[in-house]
Amino acid sequence: MNTTNFDNTKYLKYINYKNIKDFNYNQLEILAQELRDFITEVVYHNGGHYGSNLGVVELTISLLRNFDPEQDKIVFDTSHQSYIYKILTDRKEKFHTLRTFKGISGFSKIKESKLDHYGAGHAGTGLSAALGYAKARDILKQDYNVVAVIGDAALTCGVTFEAINNIGQYPSKLIIVLNDNEFSISPNVGAFSIYLKKLRNNPFLVKVEKKVDEVLNLLPINSLIKNFIIDTKNWIEEGFTKVVSPSIVGVIFEEFGIQYIGPVDGHNIKLLDEVLLFAKKLEKPVIIHVLTEKGKGSKEAQEHQEKLHGVAKGKLKISNFIYFSTDEGLKVEKKEDKKLKTYTEVFGETIIELAKNDDKIVAITAAMPSGTGLINFSKLFPDRFFDVGIAEEHAVIFSTTLALKGLKPVVCIYSTFLQRAFDMLIHDVALQNIPVLFVLDRAGIVGEDGPTHHGVFDLSYLRMIPNFQIFVPSNELELKNILYTVLQNLDKPTAIRYPRDNIEGLNNDSKFSIIDLYSWILKYESSLSNYNKKVAILATGRLNRFIPKVISLLEKSNIYSKWYNCISIKPLDNKVLSNLVDYDLILTLEDNVLAGGFGSAVLEYFNDNFYNKKLNLLRIGWGDYFVEHGAIKELYDFYGINEQEIFNKILEKLDLDVIKIGVSNNESV
């Protein structure tokens, strides 16, 4: 990316966490604009979380003026909103590499910087991590502040409430900054968000937004007493609470022993400075309710909060940035390649078609109505749609009793986020053999969001659970017909997993058909009569794409091949497997970790059924490492999952001469 045109010569160039206190509020206002422009430029080129970061510019500036990231611990919940922090701490120069392979991560990462105090990507972990830091400080008799920055949507997570409960039990000096912008990715949901709205709209507090001093001045007290309030610990807690916490609405946090301050205008650095300085003096847990606007500074991001929560590379269209000088290209909005739909889109359309004819179908999402393709379903069938917030555990248990009453719950959760409900999948769904359909989007690597978001564990964590069946479509027709067939007779826990990707066409308007879910599909068989060796290729999902080229390379080397598209991971197609025993090599391919995945299942099958045969099995998938962030193709190439590498590995396993290119998939970064 070309950053040379970017005019950050005013303040951004000079300011960092060490000197940020030395600048005045006028200068900081200009810095805030420069930061917004910088983020816009980088997100335009690299994609990333846009609205969330534009909303916390002033808040992060103030945090770094009041806390020392070398000593204090600042924990960002989810951490998709940590861009400003990265820029102002120690990653300004590298920030243009955001989300690129080997570049800056889109989330906090302790491996990336000693100033990132906690890594995240999944929501709701902030308070627990912060309490651990606070308790460690107390036990070790150290002296530092702990600050947790959490979004309002984090309050839809069960784990956040577990932490709040625990903070009440083990109170400790701890500052929680509740960044309330009323949005999750979509508008925030749930009773708690309505409660926050009440706090937010308290008329008295609108005045407080202006200036804490002014509010103190409103009280019938003289300046001596005012100073006494500010300086005296015992009084300050009582006094400040009375001033800034609404008496109209009960403050729930206080019932948990957490002092409430707010609401506070999160775009007023001076006010934030005063409030943070005040909070720092308290020797107890305190929550500062900060009001921010998601997308602040960008007309587009404010108008399209949901769309511009996170954007893909080249998808940002910007018009109103003052310092934005790289306007070349900005006006050209790249047209999306509309020839191919995504898996998500096909799922979204199909589930509507099916629900029109089956009023038992209900859909559940955990804060991802758009991401999972359910947005149109939610509009067409509002009574059969549930957005439960960032509450994957609840979503799973909730679905079980819907199913027990005869409904057909379709629980749509990204592969990585369903990890959080692992116990519920076992204890609530599978143990009771309850028919729930899980639709796992973003299965396999997801690219730039990186290791917190890659969905590479689901085949392993689902396959081990009794009663579950698991299907992996590789094209549009398969996805439609698997959904149709499963939902005709949903009689056991079932999972369908697919990636964040375009889906192979086969776009026809044919009626749905019942398919044989458990038979693997023979895609190709060599017609070579004289061949060296015989290879069976068992491919799953999008990795089928690599196979035509691999087969053509194999045939050039006079190797016979038979290729199956394995749509059922559990159960395996034992009929096919039992006929492969005399092959020179059996190759499995999966967009999942090798440990416990599809290849392991095949290995177990042969071990259990043909233990006296010598089998040559090659498993291709992700090794014993976390896959880094980067473009999907780049990651496949780096870790050795591409046509040439698959071919080379086959030759190597067959003890034939190999020309090695790239790196082995055991190599980590």
Q: Rounded CA gap, 415 and 564, in Å?
A: 24
Q: Rounded CA gap, 77 and 126, in Å?
A: 4
116 versus 590: smaller Cβ distance to ligand TPP: 116
Which residue type sits at 557?
S
- Per-residue x/- marks for ligand TPP, 20-59, CB under 6 A? --------------------------------x--x----
Residues from 387 through 416 that contact ligand TPP (CB under 6 A) = 390, 392
CB of 574 to ligand TPP, least distance (A): 36
In the residue annotation, 70 being an active-site residue is answered as: no
Nearest to 384 by CA among 368, 403, 362: 362
Question: In this chain, which stretch among 61-69, 183-191, 516-524, 622-630 interacts with ligand TPP, using CB under 6 A?
Answer: 183-191
CB of 576 to ligand TPP, least distance (A): 37
Which residues, including other chains, have CB under 8 Å from residue 441's CB and lie 6 or more apart? 343, 344, 347, 371, 372, 373, 412, 413, 414, 415, 498, 500
In the residue annotation, 420 being an active-site residue is answered as: yes
Contact between 500 and ligand TPP by CB under 6 A: the answer reads no
Contact between 443 and ligand TPP by CB under 6 A: the answer reads no
Radius of gyration of the chain (CA): 28
Q: Using the rule CB under 6 A, which residue among 115, 163, 185, 261 binds ligand TPP?
A: 185
Cβ atoms 628, 451 nearer than 8 A: yes
Which residues, including other chains, have CB under 8 Å from residue 557's CB and lie 6 or more apart? 532, 651, 656
Q: Using the rule CB under 6 A, which residue among 367, 412, 421, 559 binds ligand TPP?
A: 367
Contact between 420 and ligand TPP by CB under 6 A: the answer reads yes
Nearest to 537 by CA among 548, 496, 644: 548
55 versus 541: smaller Cβ distance to ligand TPP: 55
Task: Give DSSP secondary structure letters for 36-59.
Answer: HHHHHHHHHHH-EE-HHHHHTHHH
**Which class for 596: exposed (0-12), middle (13-18), buried (19 or more C-beta within 10 A)?**
middle
Q: Using the rule CB under 6 A, which residue among 45, 99, 294, 480 binds ligand TPP?
A: 294
In the residue annotation, 645 being an active-site residue is answered as: no
Residues from 232 through 291 that contact ligand TPP (CB under 6 A) = none
User: Cα–Cα distances in Å, from 645 out to 102, 178, 570, 583, 651?
Assistant: 21, 48, 27, 21, 10
Q: Using the rule CB under 6 A, which residue among 417, 438, 498, 598 binds ligand TPP?
A: 417
| Centroid of chain to Cα 640 | 25
Q: Using the rule CB under 6 A, which residue among 184, 268, 540, 665 binds ligand TPP?
A: 184
Residue in the structure block whose two tokens are 């099958």: 605
CB of 441 to ligand TPP, least distance (A): 12
Contact between 152 and ligand TPP by CB under 6 A: the answer reads yes
Contact between 183 and ligand TPP by CB under 6 A: the answer reads yes
Contact between 117 and ligand TPP by CB under 6 A: the answer reads no
Taking residue 540's Cβ as centre, other Cβ atoms within 10 Å add up to 29
Residue nearest to ligand TPP (CB): 151
Core vs surface per residue 402-416: b (16+ CB within 10 A) or e? bbeeebbbbbbbbbb
Question: In this chain, which stretch among 30-38, 181-189, 191-199, 544-552 interacts with ligand TPP, using CB under 6 A?
Answer: 181-189
Residues from 119 through 148 that contact ligand TPP (CB under 6 A) = 122-123
Contact between 649 and ligand TPP by CB under 6 A: the answer reads no
Q: Using the rule CB under 6 A, which residue among 154, 275, 436, 617 binds ligand TPP?
A: 154
**Considering 41, 392, 590, 628, which one is annotated as catalytic?**
392
The helix (H) or strand (E) run that includes residue 469 is: strand 469-471
Asked whether the bond before 571 is cis by omega within 30 degrees of 0, the reply is yes
Question: In this chain, which stretch among 19-27, 149-157, 209-217, 617-625 interacts with ligand TPP, using CB under 6 A?
Answer: 149-157
Contact between 372 and ligand TPP by CB under 6 A: the answer reads no
CB of 56 to ligand TPP, least distance (A): 7
**Considering 420, 463, 497, 653, which one is annotated as catalytic?**
420
Residues from 73 through 112 that contact ligand TPP (CB under 6 A) = 78, 80-81
Q: What's 428's DSSP letter?
A: I
Binders of ligand TPP: how many residues, by CB under 6 A? 23
Structural tokens at position 360: 């038992």
Instruction: Give me the residues that bind ligand TPP (CB under 6 A), please.
Output: 52, 55, 78, 80-81, 122-123, 151-154, 179, 181, 183-185, 294, 366-367, 390, 392, 417, 420
